[in-house]
Amino acid sequence: MNCPICGTPKLKRDSIDNGIGVQYGPYGCPCGWSEDEKYDIRNGPKFTTCNYRLDQWGGATPPC
């Protein structure tokens, strides 16, 4: 899959094997695009209610 915004090839996404199956996050691109709109950070960073910073791959980084 290529990024629909900048054309970067072979987009990546996070995954986790929880022992029952594998769960996948949204595809994301270094340009900030995410296939899930709530993680799209092209217009600046987004934060959760607990002040965790979201990334375009569906991850959340705790505040410092």
pLDDT digits 0-9 by tens, 6-23: 999 999 999 999 999 999
Residue 37's nearest CA partner among 24, 53, 23, 26 is 26
Q: What is the pLDDT at residue 64? A: 75
Q: What is the pLDDT at residue 57? A: 94
Average pLDDT of 21-50? 95
3-state secondary structure the chain: CCCCCCCCCCCECCEEECCCCEEECCCECCCCCECCHHHCCCCCCEECCCCCEECCCCCEECCC
Q: What angle do CA 13, 59, 49 make, to 5 degrees?
A: 150
pTM above 0.95, yes or no: no
